[in-house]
C-alpha cells in the first residue's frame, strides 16, 4: 500500500502561508538537498488547487542542471479541486466528486505519494496522510 507523505514549509511558530515570502531568505544547500531527495523518492504528487495553480505557473518555464524542474514537469500530479474544470500542466489529473474515495484508490497503488499543499487542504483532509 502506498504511503501518503505530507510536505510543507512551516515556521517554528506555525506560519505556513506564502512560504516564498519567508522561507527563501533561509534557503541553503541542506534544504535544497532535502527537497531534491524528497522529490526524487516519490513517484507522484497530490496537490490542492492553490498549490497546483502556483506550481503550474512557476514550473512550466523552469529548467535546471539537476533535472528537478524536468521531474516536476514530467511525473504524475493528482489535483484535488471542487472548482477547477481543466488542468493545463502536463501529466496532471483532476480529482473531483468523491475525493476521499479517489485518494483511497491512489493509496492502494504502489510507490510513495507526496502531498504538497496549503494548510487548508491538509486540514480538510486530515485522515489522508500516513506521515
Residue-wise DSSP of 3-63: -EEEE----TT---S-HHHHTGGG--HHHHHHHHHHHHT-S-EEEEHHHHHHHHHHHTT--
How many of the other CB atoms lie within 10 Å of CB of 63? 10
Specify whether the CB–CB gap between 114 and 40 falls below 8 A. no
Q: What is the pLDDT of residues 79-118, one digit of tens each?
A: 999 899 999 999 999 998 888 888 888 888 887 776 665 5
Q: What is the pLDDT of residues 34-69, one digit of tens each?
A: 888 888 888 888 888 988 998 899 888 888 888 888
The H or E element spanning position 110 is: none
Measured at the CA of 40, the angle between CA 97 and CA 117, to 5 degrees, comes to 35
Q: How confident is the model at residue 123 (pLDDT cuts 50, 70, 90)?
A: very low
Backbone angles phi, psi at 80, to 5 degrees: -90, 120
Can you give the pTM of this predicted structure? 0.79
Amino acid at each position: 500500500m502506498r504511503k501518503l507523505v505530507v510536505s510543507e514549509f512551516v515556521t517554528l511558530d506555525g506560519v505556513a502561508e506564502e512560504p516564498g515570502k519567508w522561507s527563501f531568505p533561509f534557503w541553503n544547500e541542506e534544504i535544497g538537498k532535502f527537497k531534491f531527495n524528497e522529490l526524487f523518492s516519490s513517484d507522484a504528487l497530490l496537490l490542492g488547487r492553490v498549490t497546483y495553480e502556483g506550481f503550474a505557473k512557476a514550473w512550466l518555464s523552469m529548467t535546471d542542471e539537476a533535472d528537478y524542474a524536468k521531474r516536476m514537469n514530467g511525473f504524475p500530479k493528482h489535483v484535488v479541486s471542487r472548482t477547477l474544470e481543466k488542468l493545463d500542466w502536463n501529466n496532471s489529473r483532476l480529482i473531483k466528486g468523491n475525493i476521499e474515495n479517489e485518494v483511497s484508490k491512489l493509496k492502494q497503488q504502489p510507490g510513495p505519494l507526496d502531498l504538497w499543499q496549503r494548510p487548508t487542504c491538509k486540514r480538510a483532509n486530515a485522515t489522508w496522510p500516513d506521515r
